[in-house]
Amino acid sequence: MSNKSKAVAPKGYRAEEYPPFAVTADIVMLTMRQGRLSVLLVARGEEPYKGEWALPGGFVRPEESCTEAAARELAEETGLDSFGGHLEQLQTFDDPVRDPRMRVVSVAYLAMLPDLPLPQAGSDAAGARWFAVDELAQENIGLAFDHAKILEAGLERVANKLEYTSLATCFVPEPFTITELRHVYEAVWGISLDPGNFRRKVLATPGFVQPTGDSAADRQGRPASLYTAGGETMLHPPILRS
């Protein structure tokens, strides 16, 4: 912040003469589709990286915060009036050469939402598609810019936050069963969890989920009780990745 002119600064350096930086908000938007953790990507229509897949995002406008820019982009990409899911700042990527055109600092965001009807025509992103994240690795799909690094940071953040927050509820459409909630952990962590112990852990945490009183009768087997998210995303004792 402090813009004091420094004795040690290079010849004639003054803040006002600095070449401009561009700032973008790029979004790692995750959901669960068919039991797999999936990320929304858009096909780039222009150079550089024309035709390659990239994270949705765009330039931050002068009068809006980066978070507002991310929410705006998200609404455009999903075709919804406003983005209702969870949105948090992830990390800022600022390698001076991450964009070949100019100096662009990217404030990356992490968004989570339950599986939706896909981004449709009329939205900004005709070329938008969900990719299962394991599919990306297997099929060696490269991402534009440093977006592979951004995605990796997002996946790591999600995996860690599941452990000690109730964030997993963002991925499941309400009302949900405890088993559906458990599938989120299993997909993100790539392991299986003991159904009984998981159930007890979640129900023993006040505020994690709220029973609706209803049951899901569509499946085979004993009908499962339905729950909604407890409210605010909260911290709690860890669900262990065993």
Given the rule CB under 8 A, which residues bind a copy of itself?
Answer: 1-4, 6-8, 10, 15, 18-24, 26, 42, 44-46, 54-67, 76, 89, 91-92, 94-96, 99, 103-107, 124, 144-145, 147
Q: Does 215 bind DNA (CB under 7 A)?
A: yes
β-pair partners for 106: 24, 93
Q: Does 237 bind DNA (CB under 7 A)?
A: yes
Closest alpha carbon to 214 in 161, 166, 175, 169: 175
Q: How far is the CB of 10 from a copy of itself (least distance, A)?
A: 8
Q: Rounded to whole angstroms, how far apart are CA atoms 49 and 162? A: 33
Q: With CB cut-offs between 5 and 8 Å by kind, which of DNA, a copy of itself, none does residue 157 bind?
A: none
Closest alpha carbon to 39 in 135, 127, 103: 135
Select 121 or 217, whichever has its Cβ closest to DNA. Answer: 217
Residue with tokens 């550089």: 48
Cα–Cα distances in angstroms (integers) from residue 161 to residues 65, 136, 198, in the given order: 24, 22, 16
Kindly give, in sequence order, each residue whose CB lies less than 8 Å from that of residue 181, ignoring residues fewer than 6 positions away: 168, 169, 172, 202, 209, 227
Using CB under 7 A as the criterion, what x/- string covers residues 143-182 for binding DNA? ----------------------------------xxx---
Q: With CB cut-offs between 5 and 8 Å by kind, which of DNA, a copy of itself, none does residue 103 bind?
A: a copy of itself
For the chain, the distance separating the N- and C-terminal CA atoms, rounded to the nearest angstrom, is 45
Select 61 or 219, whichever has its Cβ closest to a copy of itself. Answer: 61
Q: Rounded to whole angstroms, how far apart are CA atoms 49 and 160? A: 31
Q: How far is the CB of 109 from DNA (least distance, A)?
A: 31
Q: Does 221 bind DNA (CB under 7 A)?
A: yes
Position among 197, 212, 231, 235 found at the interface with DNA (CB under 7 A): 197
Position among 14, 222, 228, 232 found at the interface with DNA (CB under 7 A): 222
Select 91 or 179, whichever has its Cβ closest to DNA. Answer: 179
Q: Rounded to whole angstroms, how far apart are CA atoms 43 and 127? A: 5
Select 59 or 212, whichever has its Cβ closest to a copy of itself. Answer: 59
Select 144 or 226, whichever has its Cβ closest to DNA. Answer: 226
Six-digit token pair at 104? Answer: 């662009």
Specify whether the CB–CB gap between 110 and 28 falls below 8 A: yes
Select 144 or 224, whichever has its Cβ closest to DNA. Answer: 224
The rounded radius of gyration (Å) of the Cα atoms in the chain is 21
* Interface contacts to DNA, rule CB under 7 A: 177-179, 194-197, 199-201, 215, 217, 219-225, 237-238, 240, 242
